[in-house]
Amino acid sequence: MIDRAPRAKREGMVSGGRGMLALTLGVLGIVATSAAAPACGVTDDPADTPADVPEAGMPDAIAPDSAPAPLCVDGKPVDWPPGPYEIGITSTLPPDLAFEGPSGTVRLKDYFEPCAARSRLLVVRSAAAWCGPCGWHATHTTRLLGDARFADRLLLLDLLIADEDNMPANPPAAMRWSKRIDVPAGVPAKVAMDAKYTFSAALPAKNVLPEYVLVDTRTMKVRTVMNAPDPDTLGGYLDLELAALDGKPRVDIPERKLHDGLLTDDQFDLLQDMKLPAVPPPDPTNEYADVAAAVAFGKKLFEDTGLSPSGTVACITCHDPTKAFGDGLKQANGVALGDRNSPPIALSSHARWQFWDGRADTLWMQALGPFENAKEFASSRAFVVHAIANSADYTADYATVFGAKYGALPDLTTVPAMGKPGDAAYDALPQAKRDEVTRVYVNAGKAIAAFERTLRVKPNDLDRYIGGDATAMQGRVRRGLEQFFKVGCVQCHWGPRLTDDAFHAIRFPTGRQDGAADRGRADVLLGLATAEFVASSKWSDAPQAAKPLSFPGVPPSMIGAFKTPTLRGVSQSAPYGHGGAFGQLLDVTKHYGQRGQMVTPASAAGIVEEWLPNFDANVQGDLPALLDILTADRLP
Ligand code: HEC
Ligand code: HEC
């Protein structure tokens, strides 16, 4: 009898207990398996090894299997073990499960080897490319599965759920993912796509990625399910399962080795990666990104209310250095109240996408949005370009930075005071004139972006802790850090800015003035390919460096999806969420604790993602203590 549930529960795993969803699964796609031809000759069913009897109190306890039918008859495997089938703990998997992969279709049938002399374990690992711990597990596969004691006993099937932006898994993403996996020698490994999250969604433990499912290849029964296990624990369970399958005595799961009593090896590595980033990544789409004169020009533009016809609004109005480059308001307030919360932008130059919905793919393109937004500046490119041309100071700046390549400012005598595409007077200008105006406008955006790239913040207590100062975190803050990793915040909030820069539907309430739910990413996805200023446009200095922007459609998972915000500066940037609806950090952690269930259907769009953390009131209280130390004070 294997009694492993208590520890499993503590590690955030589930083992034992029958999965509840019986799935009827169609063929999703196929890849030929490299599973060796079974060495026939054994006719017994390995299920006669001790059955997994869950501890009392575990959900859906089941009786041990009663005399199972032989699966290897006269040295030949039967087609598939008898049903009932379901994806669940100790259940026999459905016979027709198949997944498409970069090199063909992977059928679970190809792993079935009832005539093999010894059982092998098929390790099915579900992961998403945006997820921090998933990346760690992929790149440490040899460390996790490569030990000599597992030699010839493991098969690996990596199922990719979603890509780096959280779009459903697609062939290029699966190819990139397969390149990140350092497959250990001797472990037959495949990568396939499970874009609908079919495989793991039916299992009882499902809220932290990556998820490991261990399957006995002689019976195709699920043995154990684990969520983001640390290397020692995973190794322990592999030992335990193999011993059980071999009919050997029970193996103990080793104690986890903890750094500073808090974090396992994998978590500790992820923590090291959270160190404050030095300089932003290069931006080849902006030739002036790191030009000092452009920075100086951009700073003036950033602070100038003269670029708004009302004379009252500048970038700095809503991105105030004394408020962590946010504004402290629920929704932004320019010339009118807007629909979304102003994000703290000190580290935006590091982001892959700009805006809550990612409707800009470069920082310079982002800067061109607010001017022509009716609720923010209510300005226009013609107005901005006139303002530059009418100022001797700006004219000199422009000449210094852009003169060599673009010459002097254009003649604006025919250009109306206000004008942007869609305005009749502006549209009536010859194309060449409109291009001249737009060129100056784009260059202003590039100068502003250059300035934003110079914004830096001071290290905080998290950085001091990462740097080795154990006293930088005490009491509740320490518990908060432990929980941050344990409950799975780190899936999305990882890396130097504590964000994956991907889009997730987690039902934070809307901030729209009309009260309607905000559809976020879903509303901008298809327009990106034809947007005026994207990195692939003629205004870009490196169109060839652009990421692909054409998507086949809007997947349901993008409805109500928003970009994961950085958590650097979060203690200074209340209120929270795309709509600014949460006043305090405790409100945010309560929302997570309830998995968004308390938000009314009308005030948020989309369906909460499966892997959102789920935890009790104690954790809700500890997490804000950690978030409170995540300051981002401006470095002069
Ligand atoms: C009226 C307030 C307001 C003004 C003025 C304003 N912003 Fe913003 N800014 C916002 C809001 C609100 C958002 C988020 C909007 C959204 O996602 O739809 C935002 C988003 C951004 C972002 C993206 C941050 C992220 O994390 O995605 C950057 C960068 C930024 N603004 C820079 C600027 C610059 C540069 C200017 C001046 C050209 C400017 N903003 C003017 C309110 C403002
Ligand atoms: C599935 C990815 C994901 C996970 C897991 C996740 N977050 Fe988030 N987080 C997001 C996204 C996306 C937003 C923005 C949501 C919105 O506004 O609609 C967000 C917003 C936040 C905010 C508000 C920040 C701001 O500036 O408005 C805080 C604080 C936060 N998360 C903390 C946490 C904590 C603590 C956990 C763990 C309990 C966690 N997150 C788990 C993706 C995630």
Residue 404 has pLDDT above 90, yes or no: yes
578 pocket-lining for ligand 2 (C-beta < 6 Å):
yes
Residue 307 contacts residue 383 (beta carbons within 8 Å): yes
pLDDT computed for residue 14 by the predictor = 34
Which of 283, 342, 373 most suits a substitution to test ligand 1, by most atoms within 8 Å of the C-beta? Answer: 342
pLDDT computed for residue 67 by the predictor = 56
Tens of pLDDT, residue by residue over 62-103, are: 334 445 678 999 999 999 999 899 888 888 999 999 999 998
Tens of pLDDT, residue by residue over 523-540, are: 999 999 999 999 999 999
Which of 325, 462, 500, 567 most suits a substitution to test ligand 2, by most atoms within 8 Å of the C-beta? Answer: 567
Hey, what's the torsion of the CAs at 336, 337, 338, 339, to 10 degrees? -150
Tens of pLDDT, residue by residue over 110-162, are: 999 999 988 899 999 999 999 999 999 999 999 999 999 999 999 999 999 99
Contacts within 8 Å (CB) and 24+ apart, 614-621: 614/207, 614/487, 615/483, 615/487, 617/593, 619/483, 619/487, 619/589, 619/593, 620/586, 620/589, 620/590, 620/592, 620/593, 621/476, 621/586, 621/589
- Cα–Cα distance between 538 and 143 in angstroms, integer? 46
Atom of ligand 1 nearest to the CA of 349: 29
pLDDT, mean of residues 277-302: 97
pLDDT, mean of residues 380-384: 98
pLDDT, mean of residues 544-557: 93
161 pocket-lining for ligand 2 (C-beta < 6 Å):
no
- Cα–Cα distance between 172 and 566 in angstroms, integer? 27
Ligand 2 mean position, distance from CA 561 (Å) = 11
- Cα–Cα distance between 79 and 577 in angstroms, integer? 52
Residue 45 has pLDDT above 80, yes or no: no
Ligand 1 mean position, distance from CA 342 (Å) = 6
Ligand 1 mean position, distance from CA 355 (Å) = 7
pLDDT computed for residue 55 by the predictor = 30
pLDDT computed for residue 87 by the predictor = 86
Residue 201 has pLDDT above 80, yes or no: no
> Cα 123 to chain center, whole Å?
23
What integer best gives the mean pLDDT of the chain? Answer: 88
Contacts within 8 Å (CB) and 24+ apart, 289-293: 289/446, 289/449, 289/450, 289/453, 290/450, 290/453, 291/401, 291/450, 293/397, 293/400, 293/401
What are the residues whose beta carbons fall under 8 Å from the beta carbon of 88, sequence distance 6 or more? 18, 19, 20, 21, 22, 202, 203, 204, 222
How far does the chain reach from its first CA to its final CA, in angstroms?
64
pLDDT computed for residue 636 by the predictor = 84
450 pocket-lining for ligand 1 (C-beta < 6 Å):
no
pLDDT computed for residue 584 by the predictor = 97
pLDDT computed for residue 190 by the predictor = 97
Compute the half-sphere exposure of residue 354: CA atoms within 13 Å on the CB side of its CA. 22
Residue 12 has pLDDT above 70, yes or no: no
pLDDT computed for residue 88 by the predictor = 84
pLDDT band with cut points at 50, 70 and 90 for residue 487: very high
pLDDT band with cut points at 50, 70 and 90 for residue 22: very low
pLDDT computed for residue 204 by the predictor = 65
Q: How many CB atoms lie within 10 A of CB 516?
A: 12
Tens of pLDDT, residue by residue over 215-235, are: 999 999 999 999 999 999 999
pLDDT, mean of residues 579-604: 93
Which residue, judged by its Cα, is nearest atom 27 of ligand 1?
355
pLDDT computed for residue 70 by the predictor = 85
pLDDT computed for residue 63 by the predictor = 36
Tens of pLDDT, residue by residue over 596-621, are: 888 998 999 999 998 888 888 888 98
- Residue with the bigger pLDDT between 303 and 49: it is 303
What are the residues whose beta carbons fall under 8 Å from the beta carbon of 117, sequence distance 6 or more? 39, 41, 42
Residue 296 has pLDDT above 60, yes or no: yes
Hey, what's the torsion of the CAs at 237, 222, 10, 50, to 10 degrees? -60
Ligand 1 mean position, distance from CA 367 (Å) = 8
Residue positions counted in the chain: 636
pLDDT, mean of residues 308-331: 96
Write the burial class of residue 255 (CB in 10 Å: 0-12 exposed, 13-18 middle, 19+ buried): exposed
Compute the half-sphere exposure of residue 457: CA atoms within 13 Å on the CB side of its CA. 32
- Cα–Cα distance between 337 and 330 in angstroms, integer? 10
Which residue, judged by its Cα, is nearest atom 9 of ligand 1?
342
Q: Which of 487, 502, 498, 477 is closest to 271 using CA atoms?
A: 498
Q: Which of 167, 210, 193 is closest to 104 using CA atoms?
A: 193
Residue 446 contacts residue 288 (beta carbons within 8 Å): yes
Sign of the Cα torsion 400, 278, 464, 592 reads positive
Residue where the block lists tokens 């109240």 = 337
